[in-house]
Every structure is written in structure tokens, then in C-alpha cells.
Structure 1
């Protein structure tokens, strides 16, 4: 065997692998900063769904609104709930609770739903973890927004289902330079607040307990990246939501 030639071959392969990893990291960083830049420039628009809201058909079914961020946008409503309810999704990828608060009335209360699923907060806690000087203010604002959402839904006569914030999975290497593990502690703090909102008219979907439990981070099989959920995760949550929505529908019927 020509050992020098073999050595050069291995070295060449390592160089190719390193170049590939570097290219992936650069693309990941570029995508990250592109998304953040777009989010900063996007205007807050309470009338984002104005046309869709105005043209919602009268189906005769009770209406459920799903409200929040990308996790809300991707949420699954399956089983009997999907057949019994008119499902209206008003989740917007990338939004924090601070931003979505501006459209809460037009996209939730004004639609006169029978129930509302609130899934928001992950973007708030990730941002708070990366901005230590703003962390306390961000957490305070998030708690206040979640309380307000739950209170306004129940005050309208609808039932609120509010989800705890699912802790992120272990970050990929390319995300590490833009990541703070403080996000996990902040999430736990906010989840304690969410659990405290439970009442007769506010049900808590403890999604973090269901998917993460006593683990430190979201298991990899439930994640597509640091914060977004896999189909398996959404399917598991859909089973719990179906049960909660059937309970709400039967309770509303009895009240009538």
C-alpha cells in the first residue's frame, strides 16, 4: 500500500467534510439572521387576517380559534374534534406574545368562538434568554399577556385552552453561537404561571409535561429543529386536545 497516498486521501476527505460542515454552518447562520431581520422589519398588523375573518362561513358548528405563533400554526386538531368544530387557525410564525397581542381582539374575540387554543411564548423566552438586560421585563410582559388572553377569552363566554411552553430540544452546533441555555429555566418559570391560570373556564394543556416530562430538553424525535415540533409530537398533543374539546363541547351544550 502506498501509505503517503493513502494519507493524502484521508486528509482530502477530512477537508471535504470540514468544508461541508462549514458551508452548512454558514447557511444556517445566514438563515437565522435573515429570519430575525425579516421579523424586525415586519409591521405589526392587527388586520393581518381581516379578509379571511370577514369571509368565514357560517357552518352551524361551534367555532374554535387556534391563536399564537408557529407552534399554533402547525397544531393538529384531529379525531372527533375536527368533525364537530369549525377550526380557524390564526397562528403566525415568528411572533412573540407582545406582537400577537395587537391582533388578539380581531383574530380571537371578534370571531365569537366557543373555544380558543392559545399556544404562544416560545419566541418570547428564546429572545429573553439571549438578552439578559431585557430578560425580566420580557418575562413579566409574557406572563401579563398570557393572563390577559385567558381572562379575555373566559370573559367573552368562550372556553380557553392554554398550552404550557414546550422546552426546546438540545441545540444543534450551528445554533450554539446564538443560543442561551437560560431558556430552559425561563420556560419553567413561565409554565408555573400558566399552570396557575387553570380555572373552570381556562383549561391548561400541559404540553411540556406530556412531551418533555422529567427530561432536561425536548427529545429529538419530537423536534424538527430547536423549537419546532415533529408530526409525532403534534399527533400526541392532538389526542389530548380532542379530549379537552369534547369536554368543552359537552359542557357548553349542558349550559344551554
Structure 2
């Protein structure tokens, strides 16, 4: 019985801590505090995202190290959570460019059902916050996906396409860069093929190798914008 109470107490404590820091601001708090301000002339780049960004540095750390990119992805996060931590994990780091990749977990209903317009709105709000702080914006397409291993009842294919079209249109209207991973990675069923992913959602190293030059080109394009 004591073991049962100990387990229940641990679970309750974990849930309370999670509820108190829903956007997980503490995840990068220490790393952010140790990060010096950009040197004069340095064009710092921050990647904001979910597990696809979070796992990128694990799968290909040399990409980030070689380019002095900063990874601020958190696995499982929705756009609402990212928006809440955007100041701490992006604005306060004073980057020249932010690369935003978000939305697939909203479509997967990780925090409950969401209207696709609200998902797009959260991403637009991050972009607008960046612009106010003179940070150039790269809006990444959601990667192709036509299944969720953790939520098989949801078929994401159409919502991914709709959201990407909204992001592309917004970027064009607001002089921002749209980074199209989708076209480069989708198979004929608008999914992520087995050679680029084990689960149809998260890229493997081969997938990230496709993404890397596309991201670098988009960053260069953003830096060149007036």
C-alpha cells in the first residue's frame, strides 16, 4: 500500500509541475541564462519548434555546431505552448533570424482539438512578435504526414496541406520566407516515406540531410530581405 501511495504522490507531483509550467519554459532556462549576447555583426539563428526540431540536434548535432544555430525545440509541443515561451526562447536571445516549424502536434490533438485557423494564428503571432523585435522570420511548412502512430484515429493529410497553404500565403503577403520541406519530402500519398522516417512523422538522419540545405538557403534569403 505504501508503494501505491508513493507512486500516486509522484504522479500527482509531476502533473502539478507540468500544469505550473505548461509551456515548459524551464526546459531551456539555464541554457538561455548562459548564452552570451551575439557579438557585433553576428547573425544568430534560433530554431523554434516541436520534436522535429528537438530531435534534429540529436540526429545531426554537427549541423547546429558548424553553423552556430541554436535549437529550441521541445518534443510534443503545440503552437500555443511555443507562443507562450517565444519571448524566453527566441526574443530574449536576440537572433537575427528565427526558423519556426510548428503545427503537427496541434493537428494530432496533443492538447485537444484545435481549429486549423487557430493553429495558423498562433504561428502568425510568433512571426509578428519576431518582426516587432527586428527578427527575420522563416516560416517552415509542416512536414508531410498521413498517420500518427500515437493517435491512429486521426488522419492528418488534408489538415497538413491546408495549414501549409495558409503559411505560404501569409509569408508571401508579409515579406517573410516560406521554407517548403513538404514538397521535397512527400511521397505520392502526401506522407513521409520509409526511407526518410521510421514512424511517418519524425525524420531520420536522411530526412534531416534533406532539410538542412533547404533551411540554410531560407535563412540566407531571410537575411537578405530588407
Band of TM-score, shorter chain: 0.7 to 0.9
Contact 1:163 1:206 in 2 (8 A): yes
1:204 is displaced (CA, Å) by: 0.8
Question: Which residue pairs with 1:196 in the alignment?
Answer: 169
Normalising by structure 2, we get a TM-score of 0.78
Structure 2 residue corresponding to 1:150, chosen from 127, 131, 135: 127
1:73 is displaced (CA, Å) by: 1.4
1:89 is displaced (CA, Å) by: 0.9
Secondary structure in 1 matching 2:69: strand
Q: Deviations over 1:10-67 (max 9, x none)?
A: xxxxxxxxxxxxxxxxxxxxxxxxxxxx899733133432221111134623211110
CA distance in 2, matches of 1:167, 1:122: 9
Q: Deviations over 1:168-207 (max 9, x none)?
A: 2556xxx48x413531111111111111121464211111
Aligned residue-pair number: 205
1:160 is displaced (CA, Å) by: 0.8
CA change 1:40–1:179 in 2 (3 A) is: farther
Structure 2: runs of 5 or more not aligned: 1-13
Q: Deviations over 1:133-174 (max 9, x none)?
A: x3xx44232111011111221222111111111122556xxx
Contact 1:72 1:120 in 2 (8 A): no
Structure 1 residue corresponding to 2:83, chosen from 94, 98, 101: 101
Q: CA RMSD in A?
A: 3.0
1:96-245 equivalence runs, <5 A: 96-127=78-109, 134=113, 137-168=114-145, 175=149, 178-199=151-172, 201-212=175-186, 214-245=188-219
Contact 1:169 1:219 in 2 (8 A): no
Choose 1 or 2 for highest CA Rg. 1
CA distance in 1, matches of 2:141, 2:124: 13
Structure 1 residue corresponding to 2:46, chosen from 48, 65, 75: 65
1:96 is displaced (CA, Å) by: 0.9
Higher helix share: 1
CA change 1:216–1:88 in 2 (3 A) is: closer
Normalising by structure 1, we get a TM-score of 0.69
1:223 is displaced (CA, Å) by: 0.8
CA distance in 2, matches of 1:65, 1:248: 13
Q: Deviations over 1:78-127 (max 9, x none)?
A: 999864x5311110011111222210111111111100011111111112
CA change 1:241–1:78 in 2 (3 A) is: farther
CA distance in 1, matches of 2:134, 2:144: 31
Structure 1: runs of 5 or more not aligned: 1-37
